[in-house]
Structure 1
Amino acid sequence: MGVTFSSIWARLFMRKETKVLILGLDNAGKSTILYRITMGTVVPSLSPTVGSNHEIHDYKGVRFGLIDIGGQTALRSSWGQYFIGTEAIILVIDSSDVNRLGLAKTELQRLIRDESLQTSLLLVLANKQDLPLSQGRLTPAQVSDALNLTDLREREWQIMGCSALTGEGLMEGMDWLVGKLISR
């Protein structure tokens, strides 16, 4: 009887934390997205992340351990120390930074080749969709093409347009993650 009660108690109240890395180049909006998801608001005057930010967020029955890691050139080489046990990657792309899409693609290729991330889900957030197209912002479909996402046949992935500032598209991305994680 005690074992049965313990098992039911554990399933109801003890949730395993799902490790999710929020990665991308510097100034893509990773920290703003982290705090928009976890706090529902934009944190004013965020400075570039040196190291990482870690927040726990319960969403639709899943306990997320969200880790936002700095995207400056010097920090990207340290991303690998966070890879083990990662169930999902949120790759944040600055849709208005067309000149660095090639670099973002190179980093994506490095991520998908890493053995520790072979089974990790991939959610690509094409951020800054609140900017006008006239300012050179790309649509999510254009970002997908630039990153060759359709070539990723061995991985579950999704791309969503979003705005870290308004929150548009973020919860739809989280819904996709929850659906995939629950179905596993």
Structure 2
Amino acid sequence: MGLIFAKLWSFFCDQEHKVIIVGLDNAGKTTILYQFLMNEVVHTSPTIGSNVEEIVVKNTHFLMWDIGGQESLRSSWNTYYSNTEDLRKAAVLIFANKQDVKGCMTAAEISKYLTLSSIKDHPWHIQSCCALTGEGLCQGLEWMTSHIGVR
């Protein structure tokens, strides 16, 4: 009975999921984070360390860790996910940001370059977007919401 109640409770109550936002320096990670949070462009400076914000989408809480992308900080990225068993259930969302920039790689080109089709043990999705306008961001979050707990 307790197991059934817990399962039903999870359908009706808020759930929190941790999200790690990593990427190269000046990729738009912080701009994406604050588009989700405030639905507007926030002028940012390079992130030293991390920003942490909670985003709520359809009763699902995302605790988002935006980690600085400077090369000198990349060696510390693993401290945000080391020794966590939950990564085996992780889904991977790649935002192909800056699609408004002339000559940028398309999502398909990025997917091929990163050999994303070789990822077999995690659900993954690449989403074209423009952090400055917000275009494509909601679709990425919808995909992420639909793949929580998949596996």
Offset at residue 169 of structure 1 (A): 0.5
Cα distance in 2 between the residues matched to 1:182 and 1:153: 16
RMSD: 2.4
Offset at residue 151 of structure 1 (A): 0.9
Q: Within 5 Å, which residues of 2 pair with 1:54-73? A: 54-73=52-71
Identical counterparts, % of pairs = 46
| Aligned residue type for 1:62 | T
Structure 1-normalised TM-score?
0.72
Cα distance in 1 between the residues matched to 2:64 and 2:105: 26
> What number of residue pairs does the alignment pair up?
147
Q: Match of 1:130?
A: 100
After TM superposition, the runs of 4+ consecutive aligned structure 1 residues lying more than 6 A away are: none
Q: Match of 1:50?
A: 48
Offset at residue 118 of structure 1 (A): 3.2
The structure with the largest helix share of the pair is 1
The structure 1 residue matched to 2:76, chosen from 75, 78, 91, is 78
* 116-125 or 46-55, which deviates more: 116-125
Q: Match of 1:41?
A: 40
SS of equivalent to 1:118: helix
| Aligned residue type for 2:55 | H
* 121-130 or 76-85, which deviates more: 76-85
Query: Which runs of 5 or more residues in structure 2 are unaligned?
Result: none
